Structure 1
Amino acid sequence: MILGEYSTPEAIARMRHTLGLDLPLWEQFVRFVKTLFTQGDTGNSIIAGTSTRELIAERAPVTLLLIGMACIAAIVIALLLATLAATQKDKLLDHLIRIFPTVTLGMPIFWVGLLLILVFSVRLRWFPVGGIGEGWAGTLHSLALPAITVAFSQIPTLIRSLRVQMLEVLESDFVVTLKAAGIPGRVILFKHVVRNAALPTLMLLGVNISYLIGGTLVVEQVFGIKGIGSLLFTSISNRDFPVIQGIALYCAIGVVIVSLLIEILSWWLDPRTKGTS
Structure 2
Amino acid sequence: MILGQYATPQAIESMHHRLGLDLPIWEQFIRFVQNLVTHGDTGTSIVLGTSTRTLIAERAPVTLLLIAMASLLAIIVSIVLATVAATHKNGVLDHLIRILPTVTLGMPIFWVGLLLIIFLSVRLRWFPVGGVGQGLGGMLYSLMLPAITVAFAHIPTLVRSLRTQMLEVLESDFVVTLKAAGIPNRVILVKHVLRNSALPALMLLGVNISYLIGGTLVVEQVFGIEGIGSLLFSAISNRDFPIIQGIALYCAISVEIISFLVEIASRFLDPRTKGEL
TM-score, reference length from structure 2: 0.97
Between the aligned partners of 1:250 and 1:196, the Cα distance in structure 2 is 33
- The answer for unaligned runs of 5 or more in structure 1 is none
**AA in 1 matched with 2:127:** F
Alignment of 1:129-148 (within 5 A): 129-148=129-148
Note the alpha carbon deviations across 1:135-162, whole angstroms, 9 max, x for none: 1111100001101111112111101100
Judge conservation of contact 2:162–2:197 (CA < 8 Å) in 1: yes
Note the alpha carbon deviations across 1:31-50, whole angstroms, 9 max, x for none: 11111111111111111212
2:177 is matched with 177
Total equivalences in the alignment:
277
Note the alpha carbon deviations across 1:106-140, whole angstroms, 9 max, x for none: 10111111011111000100000000011111110
2:112 is matched with 112
2:260 is matched with 260
Moved more, 257-266 or 60-69: 257-266
Judge conservation of contact 2:195–2:269 (CA < 8 Å) in 1: yes
1:24 is matched with 24
Answering whether residue 119 of structure 2 is matched by residue 122 of structure 1, we say: no
Alignment of 1:131-210 (within 5 A): 131-210=131-210
Judge conservation of contact 2:67–2:147 (CA < 8 Å) in 1: yes
Judge conservation of contact 2:146–2:219 (CA < 8 Å) in 1: yes
1:48 is matched with 48
Judge conservation of contact 1:209–1:259 (CA < 8 Å) in 2: no
**AA in 2 matched with 1:139:** M
- Secondary structure of the residue aligned to 1:69 is helix
1:269: how far off? 2.1
- Secondary structure of the residue aligned to 2:273 is helix
Judge conservation of contact 1:21–1:28 (CA < 8 Å) in 2: yes
Note the alpha carbon deviations across 1:33-75, whole angstroms, 9 max, x for none: 1111111111111112121111100111011100000100110
Judge conservation of contact 1:41–1:52 (CA < 8 Å) in 2: yes
- The answer for unaligned runs of 5 or more in structure 2 is none
Between the aligned partners of 1:111 and 1:51, the Cα distance in structure 2 is 34
Answering whether residue 212 of structure 2 is matched by residue 212 of structure 1, we say: yes
Between the aligned partners of 2:19 and 2:105, the Cα distance in structure 1 is 45
**AA in 2 matched with 1:255:** V
Answering whether residue 93 of structure 2 is matched by residue 93 of structure 1, we say: yes
Between the aligned partners of 1:218 and 1:235, the Cα distance in structure 2 is 14
**Deviation above 3 Å: which 4+ runs of structure 1?**
274-277
- Secondary structure of the residue aligned to 1:61 is helix
**AA in 1 matched with 2:115:** L
1:275: how far off? 7.1
Moved more, 265-274 or 31-40: 265-274
Between the aligned partners of 1:251 and 1:154, the Cα distance in structure 2 is 18
1:78 is matched with 78
Q: Identity of paired residues, percent?
A: 77
Moved more, 43-52 or 139-148: 43-52
1:276: how far off? 6.2
- Secondary structure of the residue aligned to 2:191 is helix
Change beyond 3 A, Cα 1:101–1:275: closer
1:5: how far off? 2.1
Change beyond 3 A, Cα 1:135–1:117: same
Between the aligned partners of 2:205 and 2:164, the Cα distance in structure 1 is 15
Moved more, 142-151 or 21-30: 21-30
1:57 is matched with 57
Note the alpha carbon deviations across 1:164-205, whole angstroms, 9 max, x for none: 000000000000000000111111111111111111100111
**AA in 1 matched with 2:105:** L
Judge conservation of contact 2:267–2:276 (CA < 8 Å) in 1: no
Judge conservation of contact 2:267–2:275 (CA < 8 Å) in 1: no
| Aligned-residue CA RMSD (Å) | 1.2
Between the aligned partners of 2:42 and 2:198, the Cα distance in structure 1 is 39
